[in-house]
Structure 1
Amino acid sequence: MINSLPPLNAVRAFTVAAHHQSITRAAQALHVSHSAVSRHIKLLEEHLGVLLFERRIRQLVLTPAGQQYFEQVSAGLSQIADATATLKQHASLRTVTINVRPTFAMLWLAPRLPEFVALHPDIQPNVVTSTQAPDHARDGFDVVIRRGRDGWAPAIDAQVLFEDDLVLVAAPSLLERLALEDLDALSRHTLLTAKTRREDWHHWARQFGGAQSETQATLQFDHMHLVLQAAAQGLGVALCPTSFLGDDLSNERLTCPLPQWRMPLPRYYYGVAPQVTAQTQVFLDWLFSRIEQDATQADRVCAPIKEASC
């Protein structure tokens, strides 16, 4: 079958020339020279053994054989174009667009995504960060994740993803130099905070007592990942959502000195696009599995710390 096909570049040049009834305009449409189109048409005529055009001054006119051939090959080329477009569209559907806030993307999703990619190399995650409330009509995501349900568009069915708590964290080296045996000892430490979570220490003090004194040493950073980096370097004690800790506890980059003191945070919720694709469901299945795995790991890591603190 392949051997019986005519030169396809010549067929393409022929159909464009037949459509425009001009070699000059065909050359312009194909971005090639006038002589290149002429050579292609001559090659095709020699291959077929018939004349396809009557050459007239400044005009090409299809012969009866040329007209019949043009109609048939045009339909074939259209079918090839449609098949190509369909395949490309199918391939483009193998992406999953995940809309999250920047800090969640950096501290929770990004460290875990390599596992998903390794398990599902045929699906490409497309992470989009936004601080706006979820609205599928505006943002066009497959999956959206936010803390709390404030401002969600009514059309999105927000479902609980996981619980989260605020805990104290610090570098083991810092606690070796300056113990943190109870909440009162916080007054001897530098408190680390992020502009994006500037009210955490206030809410913590209101729930557990120990209001911050005027002489309390503090350090403020723009974002939570900078706070965690500063804490790991021993610059002070931080309040951090457990969801942002990743492997920091298990690899002992950070420790939770008073794990019994936990302040519940608003839950994380997720929503999906109206038409759930197969790859979106694959991502959700992985997401739920990973959250369950994280919860089990957190229990193993925090249990000995809690027992040592009690």
Structure 2
Amino acid sequence: MAARSLPPLNALRAFEAFGRRGRMTLAADELCVTHGAISRQIRQLEDHLGVALTEGPRNRLTLTETGLTLAQALTQALDQIEAALPRAVGDGDGTLVVSCLPTFAMKWLIPRLPDFVAAHPEIQTRIVESNGPFDFRADGVDLAIRMRLPDAPPSPDADVTPFLKHYVGPVASPDLAAQIRDVDSLARLPRLHTRTFTEGWAEWESAAGLTLSPAAVNREFDHYFYMLEAAAAGLGVALSPFAFVEKDLAAGRLLAPLGLVPGQARVCALTPRSKITPAARRFRDWLVVQGAATSPPPGAGRGFSTS
């Protein structure tokens, strides 16, 4: 059999990473090399093939039509190689790593998780708390749960499955809630904020079609669950998604005196576009069922009074 006539494999691997990630820096981070090393490998590949694979300014390179065809073929080939590799005992269908928003995990996901465990006792599920960006391969994530707006740009490496509608509104302890009759009375009370979503109140104002006057007292907390505990303790009014306070509202620990309105975002399951594991597929499908079974909050979308 004749020897294969292939370009340097390191150059192919660097080019595939750039084509899949879309940026030199991301490809360099994935392969644990420098930005310059990725650039040199791609130039070497272009010289070897005698064709241009990229175009545009150096800081905003994009793939040519030839480059796109090659990058897609390389991704498919490397996915096939990865799928054919022997796996250690315990890998594959029996493990599942889920990256999830911390408060959503605490308040919505984990209380429902026994249902999934009962249906799939063979799958070991590990919940990893994260608010920020992630990488399926580098972080070892099989599925991620994130909030996404309908007009968010498509993810180059993830399939996005919305599974839960988003409702949002002000919540407070029963004592403070008794003081809230309308938007004006709400505006006079201390307002609670979380650093993980500083635009929360602005989102609610936009969804509700109103503008609050500035609060006399603002209190900020590092995490949603700190803020919600502060609200339950009577320190002020918090702005929260329904999924985070569903149990507290049902128990009367928190009240939503003005109701909740539909938000623009949806809670979504993100799975790798190149290869989803059977366990992740089962978990995604289970999330869709659980989301459909979640009733909207009482009084969702009702009108507001400003006086």
Under TM normalisation by the shorter chain, which class is it? Answer: 0.5 to 0.7
What is the 5 A alignment of 1:1-310?
89=89, 93-148=93-148, 153-176=155-178, 178=179, 180-205=180-205, 208-213=209-214, 216-259=216-259, 262=261, 264-273=263-272, 274-294=274-294, 296=295, 298-299=296-297, 302-303=298-299
Once residues 202 and 299 of structure 2 are traced to their aligned partners in structure 1, the CA distance between those partners, rounded to angstroms, is 27
Q: Whose Rg is larger?
A: 1
Per the TM alignment, residue 225 of structure 1 is displaced from its structure 2 partner at its CA by 0.5
Q: Which has the higher helix share?
A: 1
Per the TM alignment, residue 263 of structure 1 is displaced from its structure 2 partner at its CA by 5.4
SS at match of 1:234: coil
SS at match of 1:276: coil
The C-alpha deviation readout for 1:209-255, integer Å capped at 9, x for no partner, is 34333x61222211110111111222221110112123111111112
Once residues 121 and 107 of structure 1 are traced to their aligned partners in structure 2, the CA distance between those partners, rounded to angstroms, is 22
Once residues 251 and 231 of structure 1 are traced to their aligned partners in structure 2, the CA distance between those partners, rounded to angstroms, is 15
Q: Higher relative contact order at CA 8 Å, sep ≥6: structure 1 or structure 2?
A: 2
SS at match of 1:103: helix
Which deviates more from structure 2 when the two are superposed, residues 249-258 or residues 101-110?
A: 101-110
Once residues 240 and 256 of structure 2 are traced to their aligned partners in structure 1, the CA distance between those partners, rounded to angstroms, is 10
Q: Please report the RMSD computed on the Cα atoms of aligned residues, expressed in angstroms.
A: 3.2
Once residues 220 and 103 of structure 1 are traced to their aligned partners in structure 2, the CA distance between those partners, rounded to angstroms, is 16
Once residues 173 and 145 of structure 1 are traced to their aligned partners in structure 2, the CA distance between those partners, rounded to angstroms, is 34
Q: TM-score, normalised by structure 2?
A: 0.60
Once residues 175 and 283 of structure 2 are traced to their aligned partners in structure 1, the CA distance between those partners, rounded to angstroms, is 39
SS at match of 1:256: coil
SS at match of 1:189: coil
Once residues 219 and 300 of structure 2 are traced to their aligned partners in structure 1, the CA distance between those partners, rounded to angstroms, is 30
Aligned length: 215
The C-alpha deviation readout for 1:261-289, integer Å capped at 9, x for no partner, is 52513222222234333333332232122
